[in-house]
Amino acid sequence: MEYLKAFLVGGAVCALVQILMEKTKLMPGRIMVMLVVSGCILGALGLYEPFLTWAGAGASVPLLGFGNLLWKGVKTGVEEAGLLGAFKGGFTAGAAGICAALVFGYLVSLLFKPKMK
């Protein structure tokens, strides 16, 4: 049942984004930024953690989860290092995921020889 719930929540987030892309003139980059900022705001308001507990991977995998991760990093950084932590906390929190995406993307590109269109 947890898999079904994660699938439905993640699918609903993706469906809302698709509707935004088709019904508005917003560019995909702006929509992605809106998702990350929404995750940050929901985390700051304390609404994201209950949503994450209920929805599981359906809430943590989309860009909303990345925004919440950045928020947690900034919050921890400010608690540990003051104002300077606001600048380095997000980088520290998101570094492992970003690094993994780059490394695995490079390895896959070596295997499948991508072509420019």
Interval 3-46: pLDDT, tens: 999 999 999 999 999 999 999 999 989 999 999 999 999 999 99
Query: pLDDT category, 97, cuts 50, 70, 90?
Result: confident
Torsion sign, CA atoms 16, 51, 43, 71: negative
Per-residue pLDDT at 62: 78
Check whether 117 has a pLDDT greater than 70: no
Tell me what the mean pLDDT of segment 42-56 comes to.
92
